[in-house]
């Protein structure tokens, strides 16, 4: 981290980027670092290839994020957060600047002039927290707790959990959502954020599968506890992610895909259980 701190201290104008189709970790990390750099009297602009998800749009500074496909400005450095490769940003022009790469994803290609990779970090936000502290920027509790949602999301949550199945002797929870469920609840796919984690509140559940059947595409998200390595399962299907949070695509038919994936995740639970 020392090289990152030195690079940030010695420069004054920054563009702060993350991956396309940003999630909460990406957006929160960008906003926090942008705010910290400005507190030090530096110029910082957060940019994103895609609009921020609705659940992030009320965060302080979210309205100032520039939505663009090309970065072209007078910057001393580009800080790229939460990206295993520069291509993950889907932003043209970043390679014109000194790139500072901060990430926690296994497989990071060390594409920056300055690199800090920590696969043990639970989130990129954890790494940004360390950077902010290292820069000596005081932390505040301003807007530190935000809670928002909709009646539609409550309906979607109920429909998702009411259809939950338990496999692998009750240790693997299987959820499924499709276009019809979104229409009936008045939700979008963004409203699914965080819902996959709900079954992990049960002591016996060690892993959760969420099958997402949207617009003819079938994707699977996986979450797990502790030592259960679901990334290995995702990689076997051509996907990736983290040890306890991964994703991938599968081919139809759905029923056959579910059987295969459930069996593989159950095997991962068996292998990782004490």
Query: What is the pLDDT confidence band of residue 122, given thresholds at 50, 70 and 90?
Result: confident
Q: How many CB atoms lie within 10 A of CB 240?
A: 15
Cα–Cα distance between 194 and 48 in angstroms, integer?
21
Question: Would you call 26 helix, strand, or coil by DSSP?
Answer: helix
Flag whether pLDDT at 146 surpasses 60. no
Can you read off the two tokens belonging to residue 125?
């936000």
Q: How many residues does the chain have?
A: 274
**Under CATH, which architecture does the 2-135 domain have?**
Alpha-Beta Complex (3.90)
Listed in sequence order, the residues at least 6 apart from 141 whose beta carbon sits closer than 8 Å to its beta carbon are none
Are the beta carbons of 165 and 173 closer than 8 angstroms?
A: yes
Q: Please state the domain extents for the chain.
A: 2-135, 151-272
Supply the pLDDT for residue 34.
97
* HEC per residue, 85-145: CHHHHCCECHHHCEEEEEECCCCCCCCCCEEEECCCCCCHHHHHHHHHHHHCCCCCCCCCC
For the CA atoms of 130, 135, 140, 143, what is the dihedral angle to 10 degrees? -70
The pLDDT tens digits for 71-91 are 999 999 999 999 999 999 999
pLDDT mean over 120-149: 82
Query: What is the pLDDT confidence band of residue 143, given thresholds at 50, 70 and 90?
Result: very low
Flag whether pLDDT at 171 surpasses 50. yes
Q: What is the mean pLDDT of the chain?
A: 92
The pLDDT tens digits for 30-54 are 999 999 999 999 999 999 999 998 8
**Under CATH, which architecture does the 151-272 domain have?**
Roll (3.10)
Sign of CA dihedral 266, 268, 270, 274: negative
pTM: 0.69
């Amino acid at each position: 981290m020392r090289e990152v701190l030195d690079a940030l201290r010695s420069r004054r104008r920054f563009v702060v980027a993350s991956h396309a189709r940003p999630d909460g970790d990406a957006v929160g990390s960008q906003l926090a670092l942008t705010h910290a750099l400005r507190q030090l009297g530096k110029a910082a602009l957060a940019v994103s290839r895609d609009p921020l998800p609705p659940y992030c749009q009320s965060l302080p500074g979210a309205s100032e994020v520039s939505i663009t496909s090309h970065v072209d400005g007078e910057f001393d450095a580009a800080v790229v957060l939460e990206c295993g490769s520069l291509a993950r940003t889907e932003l043209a022009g970043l390679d014109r600047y000194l790139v500072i790469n901060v990430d926690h994803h296994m497989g990071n290609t060390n594409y920056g002039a300055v690199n800090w990779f920590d696969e043990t970090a639970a989130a990129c936000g954890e790494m940004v927290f360390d950077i902010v502290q290292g820069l000596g920027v005081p932390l505040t509790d301003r807007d530190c707790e935000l809670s928002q949602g909709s009646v539609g999301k409550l309906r979607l949550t109920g429909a998702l959990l009411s259809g939950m199945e338990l496999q692998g002797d009750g240790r693997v929870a299987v959820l499924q959502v499709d276009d019809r469920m979104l229409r009936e609840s008045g939700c979008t796919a963004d409203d699914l954020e965080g819902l996959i984690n709900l079954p992990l509140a049960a002591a016996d559940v060690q892993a959760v599968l969420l099958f997402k059947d949207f617009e003819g595409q079938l994707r699977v998200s996986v979450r797990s506890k502790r030592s259960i390595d679901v990334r290995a399962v995702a990689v076997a299907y051509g996907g990736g992610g983290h040890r306890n949070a991964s994703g991938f695509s599968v081919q139809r038919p759905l029923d056959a895909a579910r059987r295969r994936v459930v069996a593989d995740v159950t095997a991962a639970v068996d292998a990782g259980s004490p």
